[in-house]
Amino acid sequence: MDFERRFVTVDALRLERRAEGGGATLVGYAALFGSLSVNLGGFREQIEPGAFKESISEDDIRSLFNHDEDHVLGRLANKTLRLAEDAKGLRFENDLPDTQTARDLATLIERGDVSQMSFAFRVKPNGDRWDEDPELGLVRTLTAVRLRDVGPVTFPAYPDTGVAVRSLDAWRQTQPAVDRRRRLRLAELD
């Protein structure tokens, strides 16, 4: 299965300059709990507290600029990336390396040209829940995911919603037969 990607618009993404010669650290949130996404192709999505807990304690997650493996900014294993869940969401601190990419990124963040975050993930088995809300339609709640990477992005978008739509189709297959009107309503959401 391909990785799914999501973004979060954060006012709190900031660059902290450390003491002379100490470099810079990105600080903010890579994901927010309980915040509904935009329509992802027939459904909306939210993240439940605890969804990242196992992954951040077991996986070697990377920080990448624009999800690009050629632009590594940090790594959990060597503690240049630190992730933790708190009441708000998935908090991160990322000590930037002394590379051209990181120096350029620091300038772009300070200017406000780059201000949003994204995370790539795979849903663990039974790591999501689907509910139909009378006002919102289908809502997917992520309860347990494996993170691949987090990081700042230039164009936050949902380019990989095809993967999520496949998840929606798989969920629909598990549901009992529905009346014709409900089937038409679900089709209209696609």
pLDDT bucket at 24, cuts 50 / 70 / 90 = confident
pTM above 0.85, yes or no: no
Q: Residue 157 burial by CB count (10 A; 0-12/13-18/19+): exposed, middle or buried?
A: middle
pLDDT bucket at 132, cuts 50 / 70 / 90 = very high
Strand, coil or helix: 114: coil
Reported as a single tens digit per residue, the pLDDT across 58-93 is 999 999 999 999 999 999 999 999 999 999 999 999
- How confident is the model at residue 66, as a pLDDT? 93
Nearest to 105 by CA among 69, 79, 149, 71: 71
Decide if pLDDT at 131 tops 50: yes
Q: What DSSP string runs through 136-171?
A: TEEEEEE-SEEEEEEEEESS---TTHHHHHHHHHHH
Structure tokens belonging to residue 75? 């790594």
Reported as a single tens digit per residue, the pLDDT across 32-41 is 888 888 888 8
Reported as a single tens digit per residue, the pLDDT across 134-188 is 988 999 999 999 999 999 888 764 443 344 555 667 777 777 765 544 554 555 5
| Pairing label, strands 62-64, 72-75 | antiparallel
Residues 6+ apart with CB under 8 A from 39: 189
Residues in the chain: 190
Cα–Cα distance, 127 to 131 (Å, whole number) = 14
- State the residue for tokens 């708190």: 86
Cα–Cα distance, 91 to 180 (Å, whole number) = 44
151 neighbors 66 (Cβ within 8 angstroms): yes
In this prediction, residues 122-141 reach a mean pLDDT of 94
- How confident is the model at residue 162, as a pLDDT? 45
- How confident is the model at residue 157, as a pLDDT? 45
